[in-house]
Structure formats: structure tokens, C-alpha cells
Chain A
Amino acid sequence: MIQVIAPRLTPGTARLVVEDLRIVVAGTGTDVVDEVSFTVQAGEVLGLVGESGSGKTTVALALLGYRRRGLEMAGGRVMLEGRDLLAMSDAELQGLRGARVSYVPQDPGSALNPALPVGVQLREMLGAHRDSGGTRAGDRVMEVLAEAHLDASPEFLRRYSHQLSGGQQQRVAIAMAFACRPSLIVLDEPTTGLDVTTQRHVLETIRTLCRSYGVAAVYVSHDLAVVGQLAQQVAVMYAGRVVELGPTETIFGRPVHPYTRALLRAVPSPERSEVLEGIEGQAPRPGRRPPGCFFAPRCPDVLPVCRESAPPIIALEAGTQLVRCVRAGEPATRGVGIRTVVAGDPAKAPSGGTLEVRELCARYGLQPVLFEVDLRVGPEQCVAIVGESGSGKTTLARCVVGLHDNWTGNVDFCGEPLACGARRRTKGSLQRIQYVFQNPYTSLNPRKTVGQIVEQPLEHFSHLPAAERERRVVAVLDDVSLSPDFLGRYPDQLSGGERQRVALARALVVEPELLVCDEVTSALDVSVQAIIVELLRRLQRERNLAMLFITHNLALVRSIAQTVVVLSEGKVVEQGPVEEVLERPHDRYTIRLLEDVPKLAQVRVGGSR
């Protein structure tokens, strides 16, 4: 089902005009965001795209005249229906918030007060801003609930937020945001943490409500595919600046700024098996931004002039597309560029182990979580396990490596059956199967150096002399593209991507035959994710590794795995070669999953309509 993107409406009165917004760190004056300008019309959605550190949430909050502690508004205007929010008093802002501009938070679980029933939180929204509709508050609340597809009953209103699912919590937040019919809604990554199907429903709700009431919306996200489905305009932010701004079709179809293009090349697609291209390095934090263009250190098209002076803003396509790059005018830089298709690997002499799982049933305490799971990982093969939260995929990975021992069934590696828990397994089998954790911030001992962390398994499994161990540690760090300088650093000095690479190095230093990666990119930005995924692919080929790759991101599967196993509620609903399953799915769950995944390709292909 191809999504129809609503065409850009004819310019009416601009609901929101942001001019040269500048926000700095209080006290030091270091800029966090600067020169941010965009316009949003009634009924239109602007997608504000950026990775961590881009300042997008800071901008989003500023649209309500709000800033977090430690920040200060230092310049510019935020004009909502002609009135500048930044020039208003607290009392005036309080009157506007909720009534004329409202906010949908990223994490509804923590944005809803755990001590108050949701009904109270909904009603106070209506109570605080006199709704002049004439209907009684009680009826109004029910209306609001129904609009958001929630159970419009008094019983529901009595519930507390911890009694609701993630999707319901977010709908309550959306209901609160639309309750007073504001002119502008700011949504801050509202579907993070929701599973794909719930996400689709939530996006539908937002789209419908916006259209029905002519509400302007700013949708902040790092997920380009989602933005592509919802927004008519896109603003791309990098290191506190808007680097590209324009209609969705243009931005995704003919991006000009090198960062936008690099970002698009990093986004995985469930429709084509392509090599993902990440962006090496990190976005500069406030206070560490270089003179000249902020993206210059990482830019593939950089010129000497980029490092010296700030890039100009160049208008293209009859003024509808704005690009902050000195090379914007050059014809050769237009276009996305084609990504390399992942070729099937030529057959090699099989080495490495095979993993055979048969009738695996696992429980947490008395609660069963996996039911008769069968799967096989052949030598040098990558099998992706895909499922939503609660599907049991992490439990499966943990059973395989021995972190979870409450299971029955057979798990054989190279013909040798494995015991339930790691403590009961042979040293050899432990060495040959290695595991990488999801969260790079907690999987490394903060009191040890990178060198010690990576050396430790080598010390445990082998009896090599210290000099030889060190040599291998340096070699494996090199394999994951970390220089020997990293040996003496501590984890808190590294970025998320670097930490995950250290975790990978630790797993690889003992030369395993099977690598189990448990959602290893979920905590990382898209551009960093692409790097890690490509790294894994390369390492898999070079070291003849078999790999079990756990993820909830269906799109990612195509770029890394040959076989995919789809899990739902602890059962395998479908498995097979990646192309087969993704293009000709049989199971209803898989079909629905594929439909619900927002796809970037449609936007590009759809073009202008």
C-alpha cells in the first residue's frame, strides 16, 4: 500500500514563523542552536530531522516558548499566529501553552504523572484553558478520548499511567495535545519505543487530526522514513543549525547538502539489499564547534574554504529549497547517489560452526516466553531474528549463549549439545560463541581501560604471553577501526559508537565462530548504526563468522542477513531467505509487519504528486 503524501497546500496565513532562533548555554553564551528559520502553514506538517546533538528538541521546546534549565533564549523570534512567543511574559505563555500550541512528548510513560489518574490529567488540560465550545467538561473529555481512539469510559479515566500500554499512553498524550484545538502541535519523536504497528496507528491519528482541524505541526524525529510519510516540508538539522530545508519530495529525492545525502545513504531499506554508508566521526557538541562549516570535518565534498568561513545559505528550486552549503549551486552534487547492492557471497570452503536450535522452550520463572523455536545458522551465515518487543528475541539470544538457563530443548553447536547455563558449558564452546550486548553504555566496565577490557577474554581463554596478547588486542582494535590510542582510554571517554566497537573487539579477540549480536545498534544514531552494520558485514566475511543478529528493525535485516526468522509472541511465524520473506511473505503477521514499516523508498519514488 503506497502512502499518499498530502501535497503542500497553497500558502495561506503562515501559522508559525521562526526567524533566526538562537539559544545559548546560560552563563557561557555558547550557542546550542543558531540561525534557525522556517515557516509552517495551517494544516501542514514540518519534519525536523536530526541526530543526537543536533538541537532539535531544544528547538521544539522553544516553539512553546520553553527552555530547559541551563539554557537561555538569545535571539530571534518565534511567531505564532503573528505573536512573538519569545517576547511574552510567563503568564501570557502559560495561557498559550495547551490552548494555542501544545506538545506531544517523546516518552509518554514518564511524561504522565504516575501519582494522578489519567482522567485528572486530561481534565485539567480542559480546565486550565476555558474551552468555549459550550459542551460540558465531562462530555468534552469523552469526545477527546474517542478522537484518539481510546476507550471513552469513566473506567479508563480512573486508570493510572502504569496501567496503560505504551501505545495507549501516547494516545493519551495526543488526546491532551489536541483537546483544546490548538493552532500548532509540536511532536517530539512521539513514536520512539512503540512497536511498528502501534506507530502506524499513532501516525494515522496524528495525520487525521491535523487534517480535520487544520492544525499546523512540527514533527521532530531521527527516523527519516517516518518523517517522509507524514511531513510536507523537511528541515534537516546538524550541530544546532538547519542545513537544508525544503519540500519532502525534494529533500528526499534531490538532496543537496552533503549531510542530508550521507544521512539518506545510511538509512536501511527493507526493499533493497544495499550497503549502508555511515558517517565516521561525531557531531560537534556546543562549545566544540569548529570555525567555518560544522560538517566540514566529516564531509566527503569538503573544500578548503569550508573550514575557514561559515557557509552561505543558497536558495534552489525557485526558493523552495534552502541549503547551507557553499557547493549547493553545483549541478553535479544533486541526486542521492546509488548505493551498492549487496552481492551474494561466493561459496567458500565451509569452516566455522553451525548452530542448531530445536524445540527450544524458555520460561521466566513460571511464565513461558518461547515456544518450540527451531532455527539453524549455517557456517558463515548471518541469520537475523526479527520481532517486536515482547516477542522473545532477546530471550532466544540469551538462551543460545547461556545467559538465560531456564529452558528446555536442544541447542547444538557443531554437533555438540550445549548446556543450559554458561557455567555448565565447556570452555571451548564458550569461546567459540561470543555475545555483544545492546547497551554500549553499560556493557563495559567503567573502571577498566579499553585495553584491559579487550584483553580480558584473551587472558581467560588462552595462555599466551603478555606481549602476544597485546599484539592481538591492537590487531583486533584495528579491525574495528580503533587506533592504538584507544588502549589507554576509559569507556566514559568514548562515544556510543566507539563503545560498541570496543564491545565488538572484545567479542572478536578470541576468534569465535558464532557471534550473537543483540540489538547492537538500537541505542545508536542512524549514521553510526550504518557504520557498525557495515563493520559487522565486513568482519563476517573476513573472519568466516556465523552470526545471529537480533533486531526489531525490519529494514536493517536486508543489509546484513541472508536468512531471517520472524518471531511473534515467542513463536517462529516465518523464516527463510531474506528476499523471499520480505518480498513474498506468507504469514499474516509478517505481512502486516512489512506493511506497517515506514519506507523511505516510497517517498523517493513517489516524487511530486
Chain B
Amino acid sequence: MVLINVKATATARSRRPHPIRRLVVRRLGAGVITLAIVSIVVFAATQILPGNAAYAVLGHNATPARLHALELQLGLNRSAVAQYAAWIGGLLTGRMGSSLANGQPVWTLVALRLVNSAVLVALSGLFGALIGVLLGAIAALRKDSAFDHALSVAALTVTALPEFVVAISLVILFATVVVQILPAVSLLPPGTWAWQQPNLLVLPVATLVIVVVPYIFRMMRAAMIEALESDYVEMARLKGLPVWRVLLVHALPNAVPPTIQVIGLNLLYLAGGIVVVEYVFDFPGIGQGLVSAVSNRDIPVIQLIVVILAAFYVFMNILTDVVALLATPRRRIAR
């Protein structure tokens, strides 16, 4: 094997940050393009459709006069491209139009909900990751024990359940039928922040945590087992290193990168999962906002929420990949 080490010595240091920077730049570029395409699709879907957006909104109440007024308001008399440009321009400068349902500025409606949903996602992600990682590590250490088997079967079962079933089950168990220690709905008084009423958060967060933990658990367990059965852990044992060092310093750092990616993917999922959960618990987040907007055909709100979700998706993807890359020396440092 011919390896030029002399050169590597000199340039290794200067080369170190580049793989990450390159990745971020490339991904950001791809992300922007993806978002652009998503925005076009969203826009096309909601405004350029067979028939007329205004008619779709007004339905039976559509007298020609009202139709015309709405069309003007929505700017439907302009060309498609002009409409899109106007919309994107508005989006980027903060003028996002008014809700068709109640006339309020779209951003005001969405902003508070966004924060609430963010709290939900953050808490669920945090607890879900912690519990999943912990359980996965323990199961890997006790591989093939009764504990391990029980957890694996539980994971298999829970991953199959729809979130609304989990949500309803929790409601039945803790809020209505079996015991009644927690509120069945999480109606926050308008204007309060989510964290000011923690007991309203318990069930929604618990639902989301239950939904994502099995995936994180499975990956952590598998990655940990692979690390524990690897040649380098065997070597560490043969070197006479203490058990704690073998587990924490040798095995764990290798189990982390794939698990990070799974945690990231689950956070992504949460962006969609909150829709159902917020609906069940009447939690004032963007998921519930989306559902009512769809029911009301409130197009500006729909557009904004979908674009926000897509942006979250893209951003989380990049973040996950960067973190995983940072945790894997083999990939971030060139030979």
C-alpha cells in the first residue's frame, strides 16, 4: 500500500474543517432549491387549480360580485408568475397577507402557534431521545434477556400504532375512563405560552414520546450491539481495560452517529405528527392550525404553515447530517 504520509502531515490540519463546510454549503444550496420547489408546488396547488380559488373558498355563497371581490383580494386576476412572485416577495418580507377565515394577519395567527408547537416538538424530542437512548443502551447490554425481548416486542407493537390511537388511549387511561388525573384537552387560554401551563403539556408530549421512542430505542440498541461485538471492543477487552472504559469510551462513541441520524429523522416526523396530536388535545399549535385552515380552505394560512413545515424539514435534515458528520471522525477528517 502506497500512502504518502509526508503530505498528509502538512495539510491534515488545514483540511480538517473543510468536509463539514463543504457539506453545509452544498446542503444549504440543495435545501434552498428544495424549498423553492416546495413553495412553487404549494402555491400551484392552492392557487392555480382547476376552477378558481375564490370559488373554492366561497362555494355556494359565490355571487359574481363576491367572487370578483375575492379574486381581486387574492390577486387572482394577475398572471400565475406574478402572483407567485408577489407571494414569495411577501413571504420573505413578512407581509403574508390576511387569513380568509377571520381577516387577521396570517403571521400573527401563526406565530404564537408556531412557538407552542416548537415547545411540544422540543420537549418530545428531548425526552424521546433520552429515554430511547437509555433503553437502547441497556437492552444492548442485556441482549437476549427477558428485559430485552420484552422491550423489542413492545417496540414492534408501538411502532404499529397510529398516533391518534396512542393519544386516545392515554386520554382513556389518564383523563377520562380509568383515572382522571390529567386534562383531556390542552386548551391554553389565548395569549399564554405553552410552558406556563405544564400539566396541559403532559399528555400531548407523552403521546409523541411514546410514538418516537421505539425507533430511537431500536437504532441505539442495534448500533450499540454492533459496537459491542466489534473487533475494536474485543481488542479493548483484550488490552485489559476496565469495563466502564470499554463501554463508555470505546463502544458508545461508535453507537452515537447512527442514533443521531435516527433522532433527527424522528424530529422530522414530529413536524407532521403534531397535526394529529394537537387535534386530539385541542392544543393551539400549527398542526391544529393547519387542520382548521384546511377545513376552512383558508389558503394563505395553509400556504404559510406548509412552507414553514417544509423549511423545518430541510433545516433539520442538514443539522442532523452535520451533527452525525461531526461525530464520525472517519468521515470528517480526510485521509
Check B9–A155 contact: CB distance below 8 A.
Answer: yes
Q: Which residues of A contact B329 (CB under 8 A)?
A: 114-115, 117, 160, 162
- B233-265 residues with Cβ-Cβ distance < 8 A to A are 234-243, 245, 249-250, 253-254
Q: Does A110 contact B (CB under 8 A)?
A: yes
Q: Which residue of B240, B243, B253, B328 is within 8 Å of A116 (Cβ)?
A: B253
Q: Which residues of A contact B2 (CB under 8 A)?
A: 390, 569
Residue of A nearest to B241 (CB): A128
Q: Most A CB atoms within 10 A — which of B5, B243, B254, B328?
A: B5
Q: Most A CB atoms within 10 A — which of B2, B230, B239, B333?
A: B239
**A115-B253, A115-B329 in contact; A165/B239 too (CB < 8 A)?**
no
A69 to B8, CA, bound (A): 39
**A116-B249, A165-B3 in contact; A94/B242 too (CB < 8 A)?**
yes
Q: Which residue of A114, A124, A389 is within 8 Å of B330 (Cβ)?
A: A114
Check A102–B9 contact: CB distance below 8 A.
Answer: no
A189 to B64, CA, bound (A): 88
A117 to B12, CA, bound (A): 14
Check A128–B239 contact: CB distance below 8 A.
Answer: yes
In the complex, per-residue mask of B291-335: 1 if CB is within 8 Å of any chain A CB, else 0:
000000000000000000000000000000000000111100101
Q: Does A295 contact B (CB under 8 A)?
A: no
A116 to B230, CA, bound (A): 14
Check B330–A105 contact: CB distance below 8 A.
Answer: no
Q: Does B81 contact A (CB under 8 A)?
A: no
Chain A's interface size range is 35 or more
**A113-B232, A114-B329 in contact; A163/B238 too (CB < 8 A)?**
no
A165 to B5, CA, bound (A): 9
Check A113–B250 contact: CB distance below 8 A.
Answer: yes
- Min CB distance A370 to B, Å, is 15
Q: Which residues of A contact B146 (CB under 8 A)?
A: none
In the complex, per-residue mask of A108-128: 1 if CB is within 8 Å of any chain B CB, else 0:
001111111100000011001
Q: Does B179 contact A (CB under 8 A)?
A: no
Check B335–A111 contact: CB distance below 8 A.
Answer: no
Residue of B nearest to A163 (CB): B335
Check B239–A97 contact: CB distance below 8 A.
Answer: yes
Q: Does A148 contact B (CB under 8 A)?
A: no
Q: Does A368 contact B (CB under 8 A)?
A: no
Check A389–B232 contact: CB distance below 8 A.
Answer: no
Check B1–A163 contact: CB distance below 8 A.
Answer: no
Check B240–A160 contact: CB distance below 8 A.
Answer: no
A69 to B328, CA, bound (A): 28
Check B240–A113 contact: CB distance below 8 A.
Answer: no
Q: Does A549 contact B (CB under 8 A)?
A: no
**A110-B232, A115-B253 in contact; A128/B238 too (CB < 8 A)?**
no
Check B241–A124 contact: CB distance below 8 A.
Answer: yes
Residue of B nearest to A96 (CB): B240
Q: Most B CB atoms within 10 A — which of A69, A94, A99?
A: A94
**A115-B328, A160-B330 in contact; A166/B240 too (CB < 8 A)?**
no
A112 to B328, CA, bound (A): 14
Q: Does A513 contact B (CB under 8 A)?
A: no
- A168-225 residues with Cβ-Cβ distance < 8 A to B are 168, 176, 195, 198
Q: Does A574 contact B (CB under 8 A)?
A: no
Q: Which residues of A contact B3 (CB under 8 A)?
A: 164-165
- B3-28 residues with Cβ-Cβ distance < 8 A to A are 3, 5, 8-9, 12
Q: Which residue of B12, B229, B238, B335 is within 8 Å of A64 (Cβ)?
A: B238
A111 to B234, CA, bound (A): 8
- B206-244 residues with Cβ-Cβ distance < 8 A to A are 229-232, 234-243
**A112-B232, A160-B329 in contact; A97/B335 too (CB < 8 A)?**
no
Q: Which residues of A contact B243 (CB under 8 A)?
A: 94
Q: Most A CB atoms within 10 A — which of B230, B240, B328?
A: B240
Q: Which residue of A68, A98, A195 is within 8 Å of B240 (Cβ)?
A: A98
Q: Which residues of A contact B254 (CB under 8 A)?
A: 113-115
Check A163–B8 contact: CB distance below 8 A.
Answer: yes
- A281-324 residues with Cβ-Cβ distance < 8 A to B are none
Q: Does A66 contact B (CB under 8 A)?
A: yes
In the complex, per-residue mask of B179-214: 1 if CB is within 8 Å of any chain A CB, else 0:
000000000000000000000000000000000000
Check A94–B8 contact: CB distance below 8 A.
Answer: no
Q: Which residues of B contact A116 (CB under 8 A)?
A: 249-250, 253
A97 to B234, CA, bound (A): 12
A61 to B333, CA, bound (A): 33
Q: Which residues of B contact A61 (CB under 8 A)?
A: 238
Check B239–A114 contact: CB distance below 8 A.
Answer: no
Q: Does A440 contact B (CB under 8 A)?
A: no
- Min CB distance A26 to B, Å, is 13
- Min CB distance B228 to A, Å, is 10
Q: Which residue of B231, B240, B245 is within 8 Å of A97 (Cβ)?
A: B240
- Min CB distance A156 to B, Å, is 8
Residue of A nearest to B10 (CB): A155
**A115-B253, A163-B335 in contact; A105/B231 too (CB < 8 A)?**
yes
Q: Which residues of A contact B231 (CB under 8 A)?
A: 105, 107, 110-111
A124 to B250, CA, bound (A): 11
- Min CB distance A92 to B, Å, is 10
Q: Does A167 contact B (CB under 8 A)?
A: yes
Residue of B nearest to A166 (CB): B1
Check B241–A167 contact: CB distance below 8 A.
Answer: no
Q: Does A252 contact B (CB under 8 A)?
A: no
Q: Which residue of B8, B232, B234 is within 8 Å of A114 (Cβ)?
A: B232
**A390-B1, A390-B2 in contact; A128/B242 too (CB < 8 A)?**
yes
Residue of B nearest to A179 (CB): B239
Residue of B nearest to A125 (CB): B239
- Min CB distance B239 to A, Å, is 4
- Min CB distance B256 to A, Å, is 8
Check A99–B232 contact: CB distance below 8 A.
Answer: no
Q: Does A254 contact B (CB under 8 A)?
A: no
**A160-B333, A163-B8, A163-B333 in contact; A111/B242 too (CB < 8 A)?**
no
- A23-68 residues with Cβ-Cβ distance < 8 A to B are 61, 64, 66, 68
Q: Does A259 contact B (CB under 8 A)?
A: no
Q: Most A CB atoms within 10 A — which of B3, B243, B327?
A: B3
A128 to B237, CA, bound (A): 11
Q: Which residues of B contact A107 (CB under 8 A)?
A: 231
A117 to B16, CA, bound (A): 14
A159 to B8, CA, bound (A): 10
Check B330–A162 contact: CB distance below 8 A.
Answer: yes
- Min CB distance A175 to B, Å, is 12
- Min CB distance B7 to A, Å, is 12
Check B236–A129 contact: CB distance below 8 A.
Answer: no
Residue of B nearest to A99 (CB): B240
A160 to B332, CA, bound (A): 11
Check A389–B1 contact: CB distance below 8 A.
Answer: yes
Residue of B nearest to A113 (CB): B232
Residue of B nearest to A110 (CB): B231
- Min CB distance A449 to B, Å, is 33
- Min CB distance A164 to B, Å, is 8
A64 to B239, CA, bound (A): 10
Q: Does A238 contact B (CB under 8 A)?
A: no
A351 to B237, CA, bound (A): 61
Q: Which residues of A contact B8 (CB under 8 A)?
A: 163
A486 to B302, CA, bound (A): 66
Q: Which residues of A contact B1 (CB under 8 A)?
A: 165-167, 195, 198, 388-390
Please give 15 more A-B residue pairs, beta carbons under 8 A apart, in addition to A96-B240, A111-B235, A116-B253: A66-B237, A69-B229, A94-B240, A98-B238, A98-B241, A103-B238, A105-B235, A112-B232, A113-B250, A113-B253, A128-B240, A155-B12, A162-B333, A163-B333, A168-B5
A-B CB contact pairs (8 Å), 25 listed:
A66-B237, A93-B240, A94-B241, A96-B240, A102-B239, A107-B231, A110-B230, A110-B231, A111-B234, A113-B232, A114-B232, A129-B240, A151-B5, A155-B9, A155-B12, A159-B12, A160-B333, A162-B329, A162-B335, A165-B5, A166-B1, A176-B239, A198-B1, A389-B1, A390-B2
The 10 A-B residue pairs with the shortest CB-CB distance in the complex, in nearest-first order: A97-B240, A98-B240, A110-B231, A115-B253, A111-B235, A165-B3, A113-B232, A98-B239, A103-B238, A160-B329
